[in-house]
Amino acid sequence: MSGFGNALSSSIGRKYVMGITGIFLILFLIVHAGINSLIFLDDNGLKFNIGAHFMATNWIIRAGEYVLFLGLLVHIYQALNLTIKNKKARPEGYAAYNGSANSKWYSRSMGLLGTLLLIFLVIHLKDFWVVSRFTGIPTVDANGNEDLYAVMRAKFQDPVRVAAYVLLMISLCYHLLHGFASAFQTMGWNHSKYNGIIKNVGVWYAIIISIVFALMPIAVYTHLIN
Amino acid sequence: MSTGNMNLTLKVWRQKNNNTKGALVDYKLSGISPDMSFLEMFDVLNEDLINKGEEPVVFDHDCREGICGMCSMFINGRPHGPKDLVTTCQLHMRSFKDGDTIVVEPWRAAAFPVVKDLTVDRSAFDRVIAAGGFISVNTGNAQDANSLPIPKMQADAAFEAAACIGCGACVATCKNASAMLFVSAKISQLALLPQGQPERYRRVQSMVAQMDAEGFGNCTNTGACEAECPKGISLENIARMNRDFASAKFLSEETI
């Protein structure tokens, strides 16, 4: 058989799809965390709103948004697909299974962590993306930009939402802790000179990204900024 | 062998064949020597069962030297038991404590159907090997052993991959019942050497296709296989297989 379809429907091809979309989402999170960090300038969200305005109006970013959603959907679809296949590969489970003896719990729980993140994403998109893209941001800031920062401040007055955001960032951290290095291994980028760097960068990436995101609702709620 | 003083409770998986349901059955054993191997302990159990007129527990074993890859017991939630880098036959009862309860199950994977009790059919591995785990050799006189220069590191890496005994512990312990460590070792041992180059990109495609056809699961890089492998086969082999597979599918014009 020839063609790429055959390659992508194989076990390794599906891994590649997970790895490539995963790396793409990892890169997206850097951009997302970077722009959102503008709120920490504590300038009443002026710079942040400029960033948000750029992201909402620049046509390259707008096109990129479609690619992002596509990448996300493919990542989710392939994960579900692989999970079902993997369950079929062991129809009868063990009475005693000592997973912690040979692997990290979060590496075995990517599906659970991913599902939590999906739930988070639905809430998160409804909180901000739907507002900025569809229902409209009610106010403008001093520069005349739509005041997404005000929306953020309003949303993060709710302690339940703040707690949910922070808790789900823990699941993001663990998802990335495995996902980052795993994507490299899947792509075949395993090299004794670079393995240590990949592992360390992955750990720091997961921790920093999660903390930066978690600090946003905390900082707004506790009035650390503004 | 010294007579021992260990008392153990075994919970052993008994299953008539692949069409019937199995269950864990409790057996009490006493007087077990800590110097016995795990399989010798099973020999004692089977002697007891035969003397009582019961059916002995069927389990795979052959060399009992840790090199053939036949023994295949999932002991207390781990393939080949609690120790690293040993097979079940090289596991000794001194690794357990007097009074322990030990759960013994067969490898569990759709691709490894239970034959009886603790014995599973691992011929799926044979079919993966047959799909491409070979090289072409010219007929005629045998070449001088070192006629092809091979860098030491390369030769060592190939040798380490070739240490795989095909026991299936990687499949057994993987939460996805994936065979990627086994298949990647069998691909790597040839891909790393000049003799393996002519079929290199055909081989990886054929063997991966057979692995998928056998119904093994998909790797999620938990690393459990590497940790449990009695021969210490490295995850690096899986990365190499992934690279070769991508090269074969996206860059090579050779298809299978």
At A30, the pLDDT band (50, 70, 90 cuts) reads very high
Report helix, strand and coil shares of chain A as percent, to nearest 5. 75, 0, 20
Chain B interface mutation, best of A1, A2, A9, A12, highest count of B Cβ atoms under 10 Å: A12
Of the residues B116, B150, B177, the one at which a domain ends:
B116
Domain CATH for A208 = 1.20.1300.10
Q: List the strands of the sheet with B78-79, edge to edge.
A: B23-32, B6-14, B101-106, B73-75, B78-79
The torsion of the CA quartet B182, B187, B189, B193, rounded to 10 degrees, works out to -170
Q: How does DSSP classify residue A39? A: G
Residues 6+ apart with CB under 8 A from A113: A106, A171, A172, A174, A175
Domain around B40: 6-116
Of A10, A108, A190, the CB nearest to B175: A108
Percent of chain A with pLDDT over 90: 94
Domain around A140: 4-90+103-221
pLDDT in the model for residue B2 = 52
> What would the two tokens of residue A121 be?
């994403």
| Span B77-86, pLDDT tens digits | 999 999 999 9
| Span B203-216, pLDDT tens digits | 999 999 999 999 99
**B256 found inside a domain:** no
CB B173 within 8 A of CB B79: yes
Q: Do A188 and B212 touch (CB under 8 A)?
A: no
A37 vs B: CB within 8 A: no
Count CB atoms within 10 A of the CB of residue A215: 18
At A2, the pLDDT band (50, 70, 90 cuts) reads low
Query: Which residues in chain B touch residue A187, judged by CB atoms under 8 angstroms apart?
Result: 242, 246
* Domain total in chain B: 2
| Span A80-118, pLDDT tens digits | 999 999 999 999 999 999 999 999 999 999 999 999 999
pTM for this model (two decimals): 0.95
Q: Give the mean pLDDT of A8-21.
A: 96
Question: Are both B74 and B134 inside the same structural domain?
Answer: no
Q: Do B223 and A90 touch (CB under 8 A)?
A: no
**A205 found inside a domain:** yes
- State the complex-level ipTM: 0.94
Q: Do B246 and A188 touch (CB under 8 A)?
A: yes
Of A1, A7, A11, the CB nearest to B250: A7
Question: Are both B162 and B227 inside the same structural domain?
Answer: yes
Query: Which residues in chain A touch residue B220, judged by CB atoms under 8 angstroms apart?
Result: 82, 86, 107-108, 110, 182
> What would the two tokens of residue B211 be?
């692995």
How far off is chain B from A193, nearest CA to CA, in Å? Answer: 12
A189 vs B: CB within 8 A: yes
**B187 found inside a domain:** yes
How far off is chain B from A177, nearest CA to CA, in Å? Answer: 12
Q: How does DSSP classify residue B230? A: T
**A72 found inside a domain:** yes
A207 vs B: CB within 8 A: no
Question: Are both B111 and B182 inside the same structural domain?
Answer: no
CA A89 to chain CA centroid, Å, is: 29
CB B88 within 8 A of CB B105: no
Q: Do B223 and A103 touch (CB under 8 A)?
A: yes
Helices (H), chain B: 38-51, 123-132, 152-162, 169-173, 180-191, 200-213, 224-228, 236-246
Strands B114-116 and B119-120: antiparallel
